[in-house]
Structures are given as structure tokens and as C-alpha cells.
A and B are shown apart, each in its own frame.
Chain A
Amino acid sequence: MEKKDIIQSFKDSLFTGLIALALFGPIVGLRTVSKGEGLFITPQWGVVFLLVGLCILGRFLININSARRTEFKIFSTLSSKFSSVTEDKAKHFAITGILFAVVFPFLPFTDRYFMDVAIMILTYIMLGWGLNIVVGLAGLLDLGYVAFYAVGAYSYALIATTFGWSFWICLPLAGVFAAFFGILLGFPVLRLRGDYLAIVTLGFGEIIRIILINWYEVTNGPDGITGIPRPSFFGLPFKRSPDEGETSFHLFFNLEYSTMHRIIFLYYLILVLALITNYFTLKIRKLPVGRAWEALREDEIACKSLGVNPTNTKLTAFAIGAMFGGFAGSFFATRQAFISPESFTFIESAIIVAIVVLGGMGSQTGVVLASIFLIGITEMFRDLEQYRMIAFGGAMVLIMVFKPKGILANRKPTILMHGDKK
């Protein structure tokens, strides 16, 4: 490398430092603190200089690297190798994954914390698979998916607490309600183009949340609904001391009482629900309606001219996606035993959309990988609570910049007319 290059990249790094100083100077350097009546400023110049120094150093290293033209080569070869391997062995991967998921609760290192994280990841996988029908297959960007999740959770909670019906009756009802809301929203707005649709669905998600907060008589407002019945194992509750005339799970099977029983049951419940979603998606992709979704995603005008009714086709995708969101919502409600509008903010929608898009829209395996990756990142940063979401957002940007098509890009049509062209 010539001396001129080094001086050039040094200048460039200094410029980066200047920008970084402008960025971090006021916001990080001058922290506003309320003391008594007014606001006062506490300077934090040390942090600013650290950040600016890091930016200069980082920029300088990148400059030197790119002069040698080795920029991120390792990264891209690794990721392309990775995606080709996973695509070839998708079936093996899926079977191994499911087997692992089935034996996971009985592995020696699995404890309560791991089970909770696993249940959370599976919930997001299910939501991701549900949204994948809408975003990945039908190509409709839905930024308000959490609305259907909320509708499912609240319908489950309201039905279960009011009528005392069992989980297995409430679950389908919650799905039906969510699907109904999907149709209600979808009917007027599905004629809109992509970006507009995204914003309208976002608005719808917010409307649902505002109604949940303010409709105090039904939803109990910001306090939420408590005492949602826990699920039972086909009529056998998970209680240490069952009520009169009841047999609880551990007595029936002659086991020592443990809170883990319920957790393991919940784990399998969400695993089964998620796999049903996956199975359904894989099957419906091969039916006429699923093929119409993929065709619509690729070219709407061609579809119209071939006699596909775009609005009805999109509506089915929307309703089915909403239904699975509703199922996931009921699971959430029964697992938490408490729900409030807090749980259904826009950020949840953003996470679910991020999972679908980062996974590579339309790829079922991609959703699994993206959920594990994103939820894993936020879990790794759990001790640094405040930096969790920064890491999460940063990961979204980075993946998009380096792999804009997602981890596993899969836009191949499920069925081709003349077999698989190779």
C-alpha cells in the first residue's frame, strides 16, 4: 500500500470522527437530568471520546482492508456456502430440527430458563410462519400483524374467563375471531399498493391497541385481564393440590409434583401448533389458492388477465394468516395467564416482520433460523437490558445490508409446469 493511500484513508477516518462527534456530542455528551423543578445537564465527555475514537479506528481499519480488496469476502463466502448447504439438505435439516425440538425438554442441560426461551422462540416461529403466508407467499407487507395476535389473545381471555370453556374450545374460536378481523380489515384495504398497505395495516394495529386501552368495560383497559385459566392436560389440571373431585396430572400418572410438567406441556403445545401451521402452509402452497398467491406476488397484472380475482385471493391469505396469529395469541394468553395492551405494541409486529424478511421471504426454514438468531441475540443481551433493542435493530440493518434477500432466499415457485427446471 502506498503512502498516499494511507494519508487518504487517515483523512477519511478523521472526517468520520468529526461526523461521529456531531452525532454523539449533543445526544450522548450532554445528558439531561431532571432535578427538582427543572432540567439540568450532566456532561459525559468520556463516553463521547470513546465512541468517536472507536468510529475513527473502525473506519481506518475498513479503509485499509478495502484497499487490499478483501472486504467482507470471508463473510459473503461463508454465508453463501451456508445457504447452499441448507438448501440442499432442507429436508434433513427439517427432520433433524423437529427431532431435536421433540427431545429438547429431556436433554440434561435443559432447565427452566432454556424452556422459557424455547417456548418464546417457538411462539415467534409460529407467528413468523403465520405471517409468512401473508408476506412471503402472497407478497403483502403487513405491519400490523400484532393486531390479530392481540385479537386472538383477548378473545381467548374473554371467552375463557366469562364462560369458563376449556382451552380446546376457546382456541378455534379465537382463531375464527382473528380471521374475521382479518377479513374486516382486508376487505377495504387490499386493493392498495404495497407500501400503502404496509402503513394502513400499521395504522390498524395501532387502532386495535388504542381500543384495547380505552374500552374499559370490556378489555379492562391498561390493567389488562388477569386470571386467565391455565391449560389442562385433556382435563387433568397441573396443580399441586387439585380441587375436590379432580385428579391432577401428577397424581394421575403417579409422578412427583413439579412445575416443569406444565412448562413441558406448554412447550409441546406450541410445538404442535407451530408444526400444524407449517404443515398447513406447505400443503396449501400446492393447492390452486396457494399457487394463486405466489403468482400474485410475482405479477399482479398477469394474474388479473388470467382471471384470478386479486382481492379475494389476497383476502384468503390475509384471513388465514390472521387465523394463525389468533391461535398464537390464545397460546400466549393461556401461557401468561395475564394479558394487557402492553404486550401488543408495534415493536412486536416489527419483530415478526423482521423474522419473515430476514429469514428470506417464503422460506419456512429461514423463519426458524431468523427467530433463533433474533430472539437469541436479544436473550444474549438480557443482562444489558437497555442495549438489547439497539443490538436487535442493528442486527436488522446489518443483515439487510449484507444479505438483502434474507438468510435463505427462496422465491422459487413451489410448483413449475414442466417439472423442476435445472
Chain B
Amino acid sequence: MEYFIQQLVNGITLGSIYGLIAIGYTMVYGIIGMINFAHGDIFMIGAFVALISFIIFGLTGVALPIILLLVLLIAMLFTACYGWTVEKLAYKPLRGSFRLAPLISALGMSIVLQNYVQVSQGARVKPMQPLFSGGLEFFKNSEFIVTVSYLQIFIVVLTIILMGIFTYLITKTDLGRAQRACEQDRTMTALLGINVDRTISITFIIGSSLASVAGMMFVLYYGVIDFYIGFLAGIKAFTAAVLGGIGSLPGAMLGGLLIGLIETFWAGYVSLEYKDVAAFSVLIIVLIFFPTGFLGKPDIEKV
């Protein structure tokens, strides 16, 4: 029982990270109908920017909360630049082209980003000293003590805050309305005087900044990154987006949590080596029985 709760806590933490990445996938898919394959690598770049800023601020000796806030903002800003540039260079010229073209372009971009970071930062893994220590302990009388570290609390709380801001942005502001309008009918939206190109750019900026937050959490949580982390994390986050129903924002978060939990429980109870297989198998099974995911709208084919 105690072991179960510990796995649950770990799973929710991991799920928060996946969920934040998954939002980027689901938003882009909703608005321009393409799988932004390079999104996982944007997450990786976010992790690197966060790592670099942690090292710089670590030398100055500022208090921890200020460092966290600064790193968060810096990572979001710089990573958003990457998201924006990738969209402008690789996807915008292909709008309206046939379906596979942006996907191939995204694949190419993903290869470029990975190798670019490998060249400029080196291929070795980058370890970071833990910033957080300690945590809350439960069930002290039993054999297995459940630990909820402060870092885990930080990750989950930050995710909830960001989700709150993000939901407000999408449901209540003009920007969110414009975005939802673009999802439904791009031509009509343009006719009504909304700058579609700008809205799409902003979508990429928001998606990338959320991914960079996930990257920062990843650096803090695992303490080790390399240029290749974006691939697996990206695929799992995409799996999460599909699981929750692609195009649906609450679905992305739900899917992220589910993938995090499945992976953790599989690693905890079944086998550590095959935890990635579990995530992919779940994806295949879900798609066969719920082709539109849990919260997705059914896709009606028109002749």
C-alpha cells in the first residue's frame, strides 16, 4: 500500500512534465493539423537553457526562489524564440501543402536541433547538482516510508498554476478566442479580421514556453540531461496527447498524467527495462478501442 502511494506520487510528478509537453503537441495539432515532431527537441533546448542559467545563477548565490523564478522566465523566453523561428522557417512556407510535407520538414528540423545542440554543447551527459533537498515523510511507522520531496511538490504546484493561467488564456481572452476560431475555420477567421499568421506564431510561442518549463523540471528532477532526451520525452508526450484526445487541452493534461502513471507503475511493479514498451503498447491499445482518445471529438469523415 505504501509502495503504491509512493509510485502514485512519482507518477503524478512525471505525468505533470509529460502533460506540459503534450499541450504543445495538442495545440499545434488543433490549429494547423500537423504533428510538430520537433517539439520534443524544443523541450530539450528548454532543458539546456535552464541548465545553463542554473549554473550562472548558482555562482551568484541568490536565494533559491528568486533563482527559480528567473530561470523559469529566461528558459521560457529563449525557448519561445526557438519555437517561433522553427515555425517561421520550416512550417509556415508549407501551409496548405500536402499533408506529409510539414511532417517531413518537422523531422528534418528535429534532426537539425538535436545535432546542433550536440555540436555546440557536446555529446556527453550533463549532470547538475541538486538544488532541492528534503521532503515530507508519511507512514513513518510502517516498513516503507513514503517520501514526497519538496521538488515534487514544486513541480506539481507549478504545473497546476501554469495550467490555470493557460486555461484562463484560452477560454477568457481575445487571444484564446482567436486561437479557437483558427482551429475551427482558418479562412473564415481571416475574413473576420484576425491575423491568422500571428495567432499561429503565438500558439508556437506558448507551446514552446510550456515545453521549456517541462525542460526545467526535467533538469531539476533527474539532474542529468543530454541532447537526446527530447526524442523519447517527445514521443511519450505525443502519446499522452493522443491518449487524451488530440486537439483537446484538458485531454493533454489527463493523457500526460496517465502516461506518467503507467510508466511509473510498470517500472515499479513489472520491469524497469520495458517501461517504454508499456507506454507504446498502451498507445496502440487505446487507439484501437478509442480512436479519438478519451476526451477527443469524434472525427467525421466527409465525402
Give the interface of A toward B (CB within 8 A). 19, 22-23, 25-28, 30-34, 38-41, 141, 188-189, 191-196, 198-200, 202-204, 206-207, 210-211, 213-214, 301-302, 346-347, 350, 353-354, 357-358, 361, 386-390, 392-397, 400-401, 404-405
> Contacting A404 at CB < 8 Å: which of B35, B97, B119?
B97
Please tell me if the beta carbons of A397 and B89 are within 8 angstroms of each other in the complex.
Answer: yes
Instruction: Please provide the 9 A-B residue pairs with the shortest distance between their CB atoms, ordered closest to farther.
Output: A396-B108, A393-B111, A203-B280, A393-B112, A404-B101, A397-B108, A404-B97, A400-B105, A389-B115
Which residues from chain A contact B51 at a C-beta distance below 8 Å? 32, 39
> Contacting B111 at CB < 8 Å: which of A141, A195, A392?
A392
Number of interface residues of B (CB under 8 A): 68
B277 CB–A CB distance under 8 Å: yes
- Distance from A55 Cβ to chain B, minimum over Cβ atoms (Å): 10
Inter-chain pairs besides A195-B29, A347-B111, A393-B109, 12 sampled, C-beta below 8 Å = A27-B52, A39-B126, A191-B288, A195-B103, A196-B287, A206-B235, A207-B281, A354-B108, A396-B105, A396-B107, A397-B89, A400-B101
Main secondary structure of the interface of B (DSSP, over half): helix
Which residues from chain B contact A354 at a C-beta distance below 8 Å? 104, 107-108
- Distance from B269 Cβ to chain A, minimum over Cβ atoms (Å): 17
Question: Given A19-B81, A396-B105, A397-B109, are A200 and B235 also a contact pair (CB < 8 Å)?
Answer: no
Question: Given A27-B49, A401-B94, are A199 and B81 also a contact pair (CB < 8 Å)?
Answer: no
> Contacting A27 at CB < 8 Å: which of B48, B98, B101, B231?
B48
Give the interface of B toward A (CB within 8 A). 29, 35, 45, 48-49, 51-53, 55-56, 77-78, 81-82, 84-85, 89-90, 93-94, 97-105, 107-112, 114-122, 124, 126-129, 231, 235, 238-239, 242, 273-274, 276-277, 280-281, 283-284, 287-288, 291, 299, 301, 303
Bound form: Cα–Cα A25–B52 in Å: 11
Bound form: Cα–Cα A301–B300 in Å: 12
Please tell me if the beta carbons of B45 and A203 are within 8 angstroms of each other in the complex.
Answer: no
Please tell me if the beta carbons of B111 and A203 are within 8 angstroms of each other in the complex.
Answer: no
> Contacting A39 at CB < 8 Å: which of B29, B78, B128, B291?
B128
Which residues from chain B contact A200 at a C-beta distance below 8 Å? 283-284, 287
Bound form: Cα–Cα A40–B112 in Å: 25
Please tell me if the beta carbons of A26 and B78 are within 8 angstroms of each other in the complex.
Answer: yes
| Sample of 21 A–B contacts (CB below 8 Å) | A22-B77, A23-B81, A27-B116, A27-B117, A32-B52, A32-B121, A39-B126, A191-B288, A193-B291, A199-B235, A203-B239, A204-B284, A207-B280, A207-B281, A210-B274, A210-B277, A214-B274, A347-B111, A354-B108, A394-B112, A401-B94
Which residues from chain A contact B231 at a C-beta distance below 8 Å? 346
Bound form: Cα–Cα A401–B118 in Å: 25
Please tell me if the beta carbons of B52 and A204 are within 8 angstroms of each other in the complex.
Answer: no
Question: Given A202-B235, A203-B283, are A22 and B78 also a contact pair (CB < 8 Å)?
Answer: yes
- Distance from A97 Cβ to chain B, minimum over Cβ atoms (Å): 25
Please tell me if the beta carbons of A30 and B52 are within 8 angstroms of each other in the complex.
Answer: yes
CB nearest neighbor in A for B299 = A193
Bound form: Cα–Cα A145–B217 in Å: 33
CB nearest neighbor in B for A361 = B100
- Distance from B291 Cβ to chain A, minimum over Cβ atoms (Å): 7
Bound form: Cα–Cα A324–B101 in Å: 25
Which residues from chain B contact A301 at a C-beta distance below 8 Å? 301, 303
Bound form: Cα–Cα A206–B115 in Å: 20
Bound form: Cα–Cα A39–B116 in Å: 20
Question: Given A19-B85, A198-B35, A210-B276, are A26 and B52 also a contact pair (CB < 8 Å)?
Answer: yes
